[in-house]
Amino acid sequence: MNNKYFWLGVKESFPIMVGVVPFGITCGVMAVAVGLKPYEALLMSLLVFAGASQFVAISMLGAGVAGWGIITLATLLVNLRHLLMGAFLAPYLLRLPLAQQMMLSFGLVDETYALTVNQINKEGYSAEYQLGSSIALYTSWALSTLVGTLAGSYIDNPLNWGIDFAMPATFLALLIPQLKDRVSLLVFLVAAVIVIPSSLYIPGKWYIIIAALSASLIGGLLDGGEKCEA
Amino acid sequence: MGVKSVRLEIIYIIVGMAIVTFLTRFGSLILLRYTGIPSSFTRWLKYMPIGILASLIIPSLLVQGGHLAVSVSNPYLIAGMVTAVTVFKSGNAILSMTLGMTVMVILRQVN
């Protein structure tokens, strides 16, 4: 294993961990507030490792929706966007042994995806880098959930601190340098135009799938068109 | 329920969530392993990161509490613009994130 890239992945995940920790703490606090036991909340973070869907499931449990089917379905819908990230990484991941494919897929969260893509653009794909980033985020997610369940009612809502901005800040720092040609800029604008109304009116996280799919499709078509002209 | 300390229905829910979440993360690999990856698909995938990142960022900056918040009193929008302009001008990711976070924390204190 290439340790250099593993630790680079860990290191570059640190700024984004600042943003993940308050969400993890909130997740733990909320879970206990709706009546989950600390070990149940921790088990959820360890096995599911998908913040948004955990918040949805916890709110549903809190609202008295305890049905296995409906909560599992809601989780599936919230997490469908991972299919797109998996498809993007597929050309790189499919070259790895099956066990590594499964392990890296298990840890594929928005943040690791963004960092791995950034690394692909800089130096090429590195499985070690992706693993380092996954482990760093997985550990901080699980530990911060645990802290939240234990701290429970003692702490104020950590999302009020404004630290949750660390996540969009990191994504912006990764995205802006990618907008260096006309098609990329257009993809960004199309995504913006679609995502604003759809995030307001479409329930769940469907808006991410709709906007990302259509914007990148338009990018792919324009890219092909420009090559034909040249 | 046989065992009182372990609530099986909660465990079932967690395991169900874990299975479907893993399927969304591994599903594309299962599919593309057999079909191969066509070249038109590769061109489309090239722009996927920009599409996904834009779709994650824009609502988190512009939509607050279920409403469009395009105003100077929205700290996420102001701090986001500081971050974007800084990384565009300097190319320095850490500097832009630090500046953006600082602006965010200050605005939160003021409001």
Task: List pLDDT tens digits, range A46-93.
Answer: 999 998 889 888 888 887 766 888 889 888 888 888 999 999 999 999
**Considering the domain boundaries, does residue A170 fall inside one?**
no
**A104 and A17 together in one domain:** yes
Under 8 Å between Cβ of A113 and A137: no
What are the tens digits of pLDDT across the range A119-177? Answer: 999 999 999 999 999 999 999 999 999 999 998 767 666 566 666 787 788 889 889 98
Q: Which of A 69-88 lie inside 8 A of B, CB atoms? A: 71-72, 75-76, 79-88
Integer Rg of chain B from CA: 22
**Considering the domain boundaries, does residue A25 fall inside one?**
yes
Per-position DSSP letters for A170-206, written without gaps between them: HHHHHHGGG--SHHHHHHHHHHHHHHHHHHHHS-TTH
Boundary residue ending a domain (A161, A187, A216): A161
**A111 and A36 together in one domain:** yes
**Considering the domain boundaries, does residue A14 fall inside one?**
yes
Q: What average pLDDT does the structure give for chain A?
A: 88
Which of B49, B88, B101 lies nearest to residue A165, judging by beta carbons?
A: B101
Under 8 Å between Cβ of A61 and A41: no
Tell me the three-class secondary structure of A108-160, residue by residue: CCHHHHHHHHHHHHHHCCCHHHHHHHHHHHHHHHHHHHHHHHHHHHHCCCHHH
According to DSSP, the residues that pair with B63 across neighbouring strands are B68
Q: How far is B21 from chain A (nearest CA, A)?
A: 6
**A151 and A204 together in one domain:** no
**A52 and A117 together in one domain:** yes
Total domain count for chain A?
2
In chain A, residues with a C-beta closer than 8 Å to the C-beta of B45 are 87-88, 91, 216, 220
What is the distance between the alpha carbons of residues B74 and A180, in angstroms, rounded to a whole number? Answer: 28
**Considering the domain boundaries, does residue A171 fall inside one?**
no
**Considering the domain boundaries, does residue A217 fall inside one?**
yes
**A147 and A193 together in one domain:** no
**A124 and A219 together in one domain:** no
Percent of chain B's residues with pLDDT above 90: 54
What are the tens digits of pLDDT across the range B42-67? Answer: 788 889 889 988 998 999 899 988 89
**A92 and A199 together in one domain:** no
Under 8 Å between Cβ of B9 and A66: yes
pLDDT at A229: 45
What value of ipTM does the predicted structure carry?
0.83
What is the distance between the alpha carbons of residues B55 and A80, in angstroms, rounded to a whole number? Answer: 14
**Considering the domain boundaries, does residue A196 fall inside one?**
yes
**3-class state of residue B67 by DSSP:** strand
**A124 and A26 together in one domain:** yes
Say how far residue B56 (Cα) sits from the centre of its chain.
4
In terms of residue numbers, what domain contains A201?
179-230
- pLDDT bracket for residue A227 (50, 70, 90): low
**A26 and A111 together in one domain:** yes
**A219 and A140 together in one domain:** no
Task: Pick the range with the lowest mean pLDDT from A112-116, A199-203, B57-61, B86-90.
Answer: A199-203
What is the distance between the alpha carbons of residues B9 and A66, in angstroms, rounded to a whole number? Answer: 8
Which of B29, B49, B62 lies nearest to residue A105, judging by beta carbons?
A: B29
Boundary residue ending a domain (A161, A194, A212): A161
In chain B, residues with a C-beta closer than 8 Å to the C-beta of A75 are 16-17, 20-21
**Considering the domain boundaries, does residue A167 fall inside one?**
no
